Amino acid sequence: MDTVSLVTGGNRGIGREVCRQLVTLGHTVILTARDENQATAAAEQVRAQPLHLDVTSTTGIRAAAAWIAEHYGRLDVLVNNAAITYDTWQQARSADLAVVREAAETNLYGPWQMVQGFLPLLRKSRHARIVNVSSEAASLASMGGGTPAYTASKTALNALTRMLADELRTDRILVNAVCPGWVATDMGGPGGRPVADGAASVVWAATLPDDGPTGGFFRDGHPIPW
């Protein structure tokens, strides 16, 4: 049977390109977005299945999991890509904490809820993969100031990745964080690498072999410092 993959925030940028590349590899791809019309339009472009899903909505996640259970019976790949608030205008010493909390709802609690909600379906897969799309901005080894909402939420997402990888090891579910690099998207802005290259970094983790790494932080298939 085809590999069943779900990508959050799939209506644009890296998420949409990840969907396109996975479809090309023969996956059945469920492209999700919090705007139903945008999900439908993007899915038509890449030949994916659209699904309305807001990762901050617990009831929405439950409904999406029930729909996938009914139509596919399992989930093989979960790509937690949806993210908001690259707050270049803020600094930690004066940050608007309401903005930080809002970013965490999507960038941290969203993926956390997604894993909890879809774990029963992932456990029904023989080759389950969870990919948390992170950023080198979250690396403590090279961290400086700026973008506090985005950086703090992605650093916490990296910590969640480590915990989940350890806890799900006995289920043979590989869990990794991936930095796609600075990519020329609406969030990343002009001047970055091609979207296809950043997405390929994510797809690499989504298609790891059974003996592949878990609990790692990667870009282009190579480890980067936590």
What is d(CA 174, CA 153) in angstroms, rounded to the nearest whole number?
Answer: 21
Q: Where are the beta strands (DSSP E) in the chain?
A: 4-7, 28-33, 49-52, 77-80, 129-133, 174-178, 217-219, 222-223
**Mean pLDDT computed over every residue of the chain:** 95
More confident residue, 101 or 181: 101
Q: What is the value of pTM for the model shown?
A: 0.96
DSSP per-residue letters across 32-47: EESSHHHHHHHHHHHT
Residue 60 has pLDDT above 70, yes or no: yes
Task: State how far Cα 156 lies from the chain centre.
Answer: 14
Residue 140 has pLDDT above 60, yes or no: yes
Residue 113 has pLDDT above 60, yes or no: yes
Residue 189 has pLDDT above 80, yes or no: no
* Range of lowest pLDDT (10-19, 34-43, 100-109, 177-186): 177-186
Right CATH number for 4-223 from 3.90.226.10, 3.40.50.720, 1.10.3720.10, 3.40.50.2300? 3.40.50.720
What 157-163 contacts at long range (C-beta under 8 Å, 24+ apart), as own/partner pairs, is 157/80, 157/107, 157/108, 157/111, 157/132, 158/132, 158/134, 158/217, 158/226, 160/108, 160/111, 160/112, 160/132, 161/132, 161/134, 161/215, 161/217, 162/215
pLDDT value, residue 18: 98
pLDDT band at 190 (very low <50, low <70, confident <90, very high): low
Q: Delimit the domains of the chain by residue range.
A: 4-223
Mean pLDDT of 139-163: 97
pLDDT band at 194 (very low <50, low <70, confident <90, very high): confident
Active site residue 150: yes
